[in-house]
């Protein structure tokens, strides 16, 4: 490795490390704010809290690494440009592609590590984080009450609260469950929950209790109360972990997801054959019709009335049943296609986001040279990354709706941003100040419009 390469790599490493640390810290603070109510007040040990935070650091790193590359190349090349080092290199006959080569090597190494991390480390850590988060959520269910939702974590009872205040709960509804002999419904204006040993104590005020005997449905009792208490034994006051849980799409490697896609595709083929069989054995079916003709048929066919029990109405009933069968299987097949697209999106994302490190070099390095370490360099980096992230989110949404392919959803942002990066690099090679010219034109037009409005 030549001295120039080593020098530029050293210039890149320091801002990369600092930006990775700062961005991860920002993600961590946001995560802690959102998860504070799930952690505090549950009697968790410091080790468990650190483990929960540490496991969730994995996905934060996966997001922060590409953005850190963009910030690093902007700052490094901006600093060298502001100190006229880039000018000296160009004057010495060193071309811009040669100056960018160390950054591309750096981004390639980072991208290779990120691909390995996304496939071999991140899925297991995401899975363990979800399992630990679920165990924490189930611990001390009295702290998990969210207003407006039915809470089913408490044994024997389901509870719904309209409002949670610092002083307690308001508009409480409680239903008994798993009781085959009687059904109990309790309504209270307000109350509160406390923990006493291994019991949850629900104190209720100003309400009614309704009890229905399930064996004698005419035995219904209603009683009003000023105050009452319910003691519910709870066994999960200690943190109980489990390793038996299905993995989500972000908890699997690309190989595991491809295997799941293969299983889903086999199910889709079975559904296609089933639909063909239903259609061909129906009164309006024809042997050899393709699935496309079945779909066209469903788009044009209408159900027929079945008001009377006549031979014609019985044929209409069979006609309607066939339509419902085919449409039901079509809905199942569409859900399989959505699952397949969702998994393929995640597979492509594991590679597309690391490759974005190379794209960000093509954008960040020439922008850094043009801006020359200006005060809004970091803003440019954040703006570029959010544009890229918006492309990813939009592509993922379109792929989930079966409007575009998963490949296009994840790789089109790289292609678009890469084309922009190549254009900016080309302008930098020709020593054109693209941003300065653009801003100059913008301010000229704005000033001209202001002058015209003042003269009027």
**pLDDT value at 21 more than 90:** yes
Same domain flag for 261 and 184: no
Same domain flag for 332 and 356: no
Residue 223 within a domain: yes
| Local confidence band at 210 (pLDDT 50, 70, 90 cut-offs) | confident
Residue 239 within a domain: no
Same domain flag for 53 and 157: no
Same domain flag for 321 and 353: no
Q: How many domains does the chain have?
A: 3
Residue 244 within a domain: no
CA–CA gap between residue 101 and residue 330 (Å, rounded): 52
Residue 339 within a domain: yes
CA–CA gap between residue 212 and residue 120 (Å, rounded): 55
Residue 202 within a domain: yes
User: Which of 65, 90, 96 minimizes the C-alpha distance to 358?
Assistant: 65
* pLDDT value for 306: 47
User: Which of 273, 264, 193 minimizes the C-alpha distance to 234?
Assistant: 193
Same domain flag for 262 and 188: no
Same domain flag for 170 and 62: no
**pLDDT value at 253 more than 90:** no
Residue 454 within a domain: no
Residue 366 within a domain: yes
Same domain flag for 18 and 113: yes
Same domain flag for 169 and 183: yes
| Local confidence band at 450 (pLDDT 50, 70, 90 cut-offs) | low
**pLDDT value at 440 more than 50:** no
Q: Which residue has the tokens 């100056």?
A: 99
The residue out of 320, 343, 366 marking a domain boundary is 343
Instruction: Tell me what the mean pLDDT of segment 323-340 comes to.
Output: 83
Residue ranges making up the domain that contains 207: 142-233
Question: Of 129-138, 211-220, 252-261, where does mean pLDDT reach its minimum?
Answer: 211-220
Same domain flag for 21 and 112: yes
Residue 410 within a domain: yes
* pLDDT value for 324: 77
Same domain flag for 36 and 102: yes
Say what percent of the chain tops pLDDT 70: 73
Same domain flag for 132 and 182: no
Question: Of 29-38, 194-203, 263-272, where does mean pLDDT reach its minimum?
Answer: 194-203
CA–CA gap between residue 227 and residue 119 (Å, rounded): 57
Same domain flag for 95 and 148: no
User: Which of 436, 42, 371 minimizes the C-alpha distance to 238?
Assistant: 42
């Amino acid at each position: 490795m030549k001295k120039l390469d080593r020098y530029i790599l050293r210039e890149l490493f320091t801002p990369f490390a600092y930006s990775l640390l700062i961005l991860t810290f920002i993600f961590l603070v946001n995560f802690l704010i959102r998860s504070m109510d799930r952690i505090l007040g549950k009697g968790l040990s410091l080790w468990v809290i650190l483990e929960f935070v540490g496991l969730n650091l994995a996905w934060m790193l996966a997001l922060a690494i590409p953005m850190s590359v963009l910030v690093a190349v902007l700052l490094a090349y901006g600093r060298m440009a502001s100190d006229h080092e880039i000018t000296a290199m160009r004057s010495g006959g060193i071309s811009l592609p040669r100056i960018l080569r160390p950054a591309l090597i750096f981004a390639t190494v980072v991208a290779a590590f990120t691909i390995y991390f996304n496939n071999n480390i991140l899925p297991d850590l995401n899975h363990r984080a979800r399992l630990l988060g679920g165990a924490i959520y189930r611990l001390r269910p009295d702290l998990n009450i969210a207003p407006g939702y039915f809470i089913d974590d408490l044994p024997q009872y389901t509870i719904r609260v309209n409002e949670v205040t610092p002083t307690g709960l308001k508009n409480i509804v409680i239903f008994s469950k798993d009781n085959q002999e009687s059904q109990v419904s309790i309504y209270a204006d307000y109350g509160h929950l406390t923990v006493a040993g291994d019991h949850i104590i629900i104190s209720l005020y100003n309400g009614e209790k309704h009890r229905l005997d399930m064996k004698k449905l005419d035995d219904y009792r209603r009683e009003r109360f000023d105050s009452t208490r319910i003691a519910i034994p709870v066994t999960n006051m200690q943190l109980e972990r489990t390793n038996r849980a299905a993995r989500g799409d972000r908890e699997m490697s690309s190989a595991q997801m491809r295997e799941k896609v293969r299983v889903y595709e086999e199910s889709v083929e079975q559904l296609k054959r089933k639909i063909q069989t239903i259609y061909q054995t129906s009164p309006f079916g024809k042997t050899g019709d393709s699935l496309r003709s079945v779909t066209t048929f469903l788009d044009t066919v209408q159900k027929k009335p079945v008001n009377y029990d006549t031979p014609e109405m019985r044929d209409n009933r069979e006609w309607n049943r066939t339509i419902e069968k085919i449409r039901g299987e079509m809905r199942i097949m569409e859900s399989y296609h959505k699952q397949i697209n969702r998994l393929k999106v995640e597979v492509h994302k594991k590679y597309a986001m690391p490759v974005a490190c190379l794209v960000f070099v093509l954008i960040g390095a020439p922008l850094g040279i043009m801006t020359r370490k200006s005060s809004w360099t970091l803003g440019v980096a954040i703006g570029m990354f959010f544009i890229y992230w918006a492309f990813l989110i939009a592509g993922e949404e379109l792929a989930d709706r079966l409007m575009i392919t998963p490949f296009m959803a994840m790789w089109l942002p790289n292609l678009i941003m890469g084309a922009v990066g190549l254009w900016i690099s080309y302008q930098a090679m020709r020593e054109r100040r693209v941003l300065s010219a653009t801003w100059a034109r913008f301010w000229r037009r704005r000033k001209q419009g202001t002058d015209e409005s003042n003269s009027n």
